[in-house]
Structure formats: structure tokens, C-alpha cells
Amino acid sequence: MKVRHGGELRQFSEKFGVPIQSVLDFSSNINPWGPPESVKKAYQSCVEELQYYPDSEAMEFRREVAHLLPIWPENVIAGNGAMELVDLALRFLRPKRALLIEPTFLEYRHLLNLLGAEIRSVRLREGNSFQFPLNEILNALQSVDVMVLAHPNNPTGTFLEKENLLTLLREAKRRDIFVILDEAFVDWMPDLSIAREIRDDSYFFIVRSLTKFFSLPGIRIGYGLGSRKLVEKLITHQVSWSCNRLAQKLGIVAFRDTAFAEESRSWLAAERDWLVAHLGQIPLLKVFPSVANFLLVKHAHQLEKEPLLEAIGKQGIYLRDLTEFPGLGPSYFRVAVRKREDNLKLIEALSNHFRESEKVKT
């Protein structure tokens, strides 16, 4: 079965009869300020590039990544989005038993199921605000081949302190367990990244994306970081021209726009706090701490969440239903942090819904 994602605007538009251009999409965790103007200008000047093949090794892009971190270009692989690289790594490793920390991004379980892997899971718990239980994870490393870890995690927005994460990676290596670390959201809080820890004896593979932070989901560009030996093998198994010419060029431009990056991080820190505070004032909603550009929210009455999503959807506001996520269920949904004018509309719609619901009950 195909995994459902946020950002499915056509399906939402057809369900609620709202023009796609009018949808307020809180379901996908995309930077509302992007793409950067520098990237838009570069895209408009790339028409002539369409007639040329991409560099099959994406070497200029890989050198740019290496310069930023800094590591060697040979430690970098470019791909058609981060998920292509997670899929590539899993197909190369072909694990028999894999460990997931759930709830997490549903594609990991989907890809492992396609490979016929046995999946073992450590559940993040609401009582602990979905924080990572390091000791429980360490204990669960027994008898698995691979661990896939989103860091920070989606949809909870939680993370491991860097020293704890390095402890986990060291213990996994000691037990011959390979770790795939998805840093798709780490650009919002770069201090959480362990990209600078990549060595040629590393027993982990980092996957990163330009989709979320630079608002480039349509161009499909991501990259992976690992030991030179691993990267060389992955490139051998990768489909030729996996990373298209425009994606490589626009990715380089995005990386060089440091002003956009600094402004985006500063904006998120303030706007996320504002949204948490205002959502927290709405009766029956519980908002969990997050370091990412999205918030996990729980409705106190799980049978009333679906009517809420329906009522909000009819107003053209698209929230991410999390019913199918292991460890969550029918009470939860996710809200992306958007610009203030959109966040105000969300708060107003939610507040009005609960006020009307209370009138009906009384």
C-alpha cells in the first residue's frame, strides 16, 4: 500500500472543493519563505540547461556540500531527494531485521516491508513528551542489522542530545549494526547535525534534503554522507543521472544563500513559540515540544478529531492527520509553522470550531 503524505493538494482540493491555489497547507513541513529569491532567479536563467545531460557524478554539487561541512567530496552522494537515498542504502544493505523508533516517518517502514525485513520498534511515549529513551534504544539494538533514525524526528520534533546520539552510534558500531540517520529537518537547527563526524571508518550514513528548509520539494534534490567506501558502493548501485542538472545547479545556489538561512532560523524560533502559545490556549488541544518547523498536537477527545479536520478542511485549511502512525492513533495531528497571517487564520478557525462545538453540546 502506498504511503500517504502531507502536501497532497490535488486530493485535498477534490475532497473539499477548494481550489489548490486557495489551500492553506499546514500538512507539509516546508519553509513558507522559500524558495530563496536567489534560487528563483537561477531557475529562470536555466532554460538553456534543459538540453544538456546532468553530470552523472554531480561533482560540482558534491564539492559544494563538502566545502560547507567540511568533508571530502568522496564522502558525499547526490540523489533525487532524500528518500531515494534512504531506499538506495536499504536496498544495498538488505537488512533481515531492522529497528525503528516510532512514531516516525512512514516511508521507513514501507521500504523495509518491501525488502521483507523483520521490523522491531521502540515506541516514543506521550508521558515523556515523545523524547528519545536512550537506554531503551540501546537495549533494543540486540539482534538487528540496521537502524533507521529520523533526527530530529518527524512527526514528534524530538531529538537526542549530540553526546547521546554519538553514544548510540558507537554502541551500534560495536555491535555491527549499521545506522541510517535522516537529517531532513536539521537545517533548522544545524547544531544537532553530526555531519562533521563522518570518517572513513564511520558505520552510519546521513541523509539530508533541500526540500524542507529551502522549500524545493518539486525539484527533488538530496544528498547523503558516509565513508568513502560506502559512498563509492552506493554510487555504483545508483540509477544513472539520478540527480538532474537543474537540481544540482539550484542546490548550489541555495547553499550559498547564507542570509536566507539565517533569516529563516531566526523567524522559526519566534514564530514557533507564538504558535505553541496560541494553540495551547485552545481547549482540548495539547501541543508537544518541538525543535522543528512543525508541531505534534493531540485532541483530548479522539472521536472528535475527525469532525475537527473535516470542519477545518472545508475552510481550505489542510492539517496532517496522523491516525496511521504507529504509537499515535486517532487523537493526533500535525501542524506546520507557517507565516503569521496564515497562523492567525488557523487559530481563528480552530477557536471558532471549538466554540461552535460547545454551543451544540449545551
pLDDT tens readout for residues 186-206: 999 999 999 999 999 999 999
Per-residue pLDDT of 95-146, as tens digits, reads: 999 999 999 999 999 999 999 999 999 999 999 999 999 999 999 998 899 9
Ordered by start, the domain boundaries in the chain are: 9-30+259-361, 37-256
Per-residue pLDDT at 68: 93
Asked whether residue 303 carries a pLDDT value surpassing 90, the answer given is no
Report, at the CATH architecture level, how domain 37-256 is classified: 3-Layer(aba) Sandwich (3.40)
Amino acid 1: pLDDT: 61
Tell me what pLDDT residue 293 has: 98
What would the pLDDT profile of 315-346 be if each residue is shown by its tens digit? 999 999 999 999 998 999 999 999 999 999 99
pLDDT given at position 361: 61
- Per-residue pLDDT band for 359 (boundaries 50, 70, 90) equals low
Does the pTM surpass 0.85? The reply is: yes
Phi, psi of 78 (to 5 degrees): -95, 150
pLDDT of residue 304: 79
pLDDT for 18 beyond 70: yes
Name the grid cell of 347: 487559530
Q: Where are the beta strands (DSSP E) in the chain?
A: 24-25, 76-79, 97-102, 118-123, 146-150, 178-182, 204-209, 222-225, 285-287, 294-299, 317-318, 320-321, 332-336
Please state the CATH superfamily assignment of the domain spanning residues 9-30+259-361 in this structure: Aspartate Aminotransferase, domain 1 (3.90.1150.10)
